[in-house]
Chains A and B, each alone.
Chain A
């Protein structure tokens, strides 16, 4: 699935996309393309710090000394600054590469998950934090929409032969969250991750990293699916066992999906390069 597949019925759409790099002032930035690409990563990092700290707090971990509404207020300017850098540089990079991105599956994944991530950050997580962890019907509806969009992005990612290995990134981020936050399941998470993905690495180490045998690809896919199931079980248990804690199970799930959606945005961006 690409934007080209969606808009191919619209007359002139393809030509417009091809001509985009000639639009002023983008046409002037052809030779200074590199700094914008680098700044894009800086914005992503700044935003990542704000996203992870707020959502960890929603899970009941991290900066517990600061009340949730106060923490949200503290982090909001950095989230907005990071997003502004990411969007500003992203638009420049996107326009200069319009034709390639128009036909790129990972770019489609990135854009769909970006919409979902923005809904999470600005319509769900921040509202829940301002309400000291309490959810409203409107927030749940917004979270549901964002979750569906994220699932669409994951579905496209998983079904694309070239980009499918990128599923490892949100999955490993999930395990990282469990290791940081999961007081009951931390060591299970460490063990499962080491066993499944360390095992996969060792398997390729033994047979050769450049092995193209279909059997090892199948094993890798199976290990990824098992890894996802184990993660869901561990996180589910963590939420269930901690249901009496001040952080509600709904807030914990919102926080998890918010972080993983942003990681999917970043992973989509990185795999644009690998898949082109």
Chain B
């Protein structure tokens, strides 16, 4: 049902005559409009995530230590809200203007939406608690550290996991195993960092710090997943996304491929065809070359290495 609705957006929304085109197709074919909208969407991150992270850092007791949280949020949240509104409006238009079905069947877009909902719930909960004037949220964290030994242990854990994560990028091997190890190291780094912060700010309620940390992590992942949407690693149309595989199921590729067979090529597929007709940058079938993003230079990848995955045209976060 949702699939049909999104297809209606793609094919019919804004199409007023039989021969006319939907807004989705019009925006996709526009000379600059989609670029301006999508560029604005990315740039609002500077204003939005940057400002909300400052509040999150205060909640964790590592910035603005001399300011009550409610006062800081009074000053900063108006900027955050204006940016959020701009980000949502431009995000919706960018979604409509770039094959909405591609987004719908994209694992990164789905993950982005999951964390967006989680971040919104966190914001609402935070707002509710602060507006209730819960005195605990305004606690000024003490500057002293009564647990130096434990702090040192967590610090060592954080440094070790971060270093191991960096080293993992210098190691070659099975992509799935490496990705799994990197995710584990990333989680280990996050946990040790949070515990380090927690030990350094004993006077601050755990729930406040946790809310700040969750918000920061959620927006971090939203940015990361948003950027990954541009990469075609797991597109349903790709041979590597085999029926029954995890990505195939999570992206509902059955309905995407069935629809494609009945309806012809998707917008994204048309783009792939254009790219294949004019290959450059040494990209392979595995990694579509980018019209809309930087691509590693020709001959850059040694023959034994896989070519880097490239974002699809004009796409980004």
Contact = CB atoms under 8 A, between A and B. Distances in A.
B169 A29 contact: yes
A257 to B, nearest CB: 16
Contact of B298 (A99, A205, A266): A99
B172 interface: yes
B50 interface: yes
Contact of A274 (B220, B309, B314): B314
Contacts of A273: 290, 292-294, 311, 314, 316
Classify chain B's interface size.
Answer: 35 or more
Interface string B273-313: 00000000100000000111111111111100111110100
Contact of A173 (B33, B43, B67, B316): B43
Nearest to B291: A276
A152 interface: no
Which of B35, B46, B308 is most buried by chain A, counting CB atoms within 10 A of its CB? Answer: B46
A74 B302 CA distance: 45
A271 B300 contact: no
A204 B33 contact: yes
A45 to B, nearest CB: 4
A3 interface: no
A176 B75 contact: no
A39 B165 CA distance: 14
Contact of B75 (A20, A65, A74, A205): A65
B63 A78 contact: yes
At the interface, is chain A mostly helix, strand, loop or mixed? helix
B82 interface: yes
B3 interface: no
Interface of A: 18, 20-22, 25, 27-35, 37-39, 41-42, 44-53, 56, 62-66, 70, 74-75, 78, 82, 93, 96-101, 165-166, 168-169, 172-173, 176, 179-180, 201, 204-205, 208-210, 212, 217, 262-263, 266-267, 270-274, 276
10 contacts: A31-B305, A41-B42, A44-B45, A45-B219, A48-B50, A49-B52, A209-B33, A210-B26, A263-B43, A266-B43
Kindly list the 9 A-B residue pairs having the minimum CB-CB distance in the complex, ordered from nearest. Answer: A49-B50, A48-B46, A21-B300, A210-B29, A48-B50, A97-B294, A45-B49, A38-B227, A209-B26
Interface of B: 21, 23, 25-36, 38-40, 42-43, 45-54, 57, 63-64, 66-67, 71-72, 75-76, 78-79, 82-83, 86, 97, 169-170, 172, 175, 219-220, 223-224, 227-228, 231, 281, 290-302, 305-309, 311, 314, 316-317
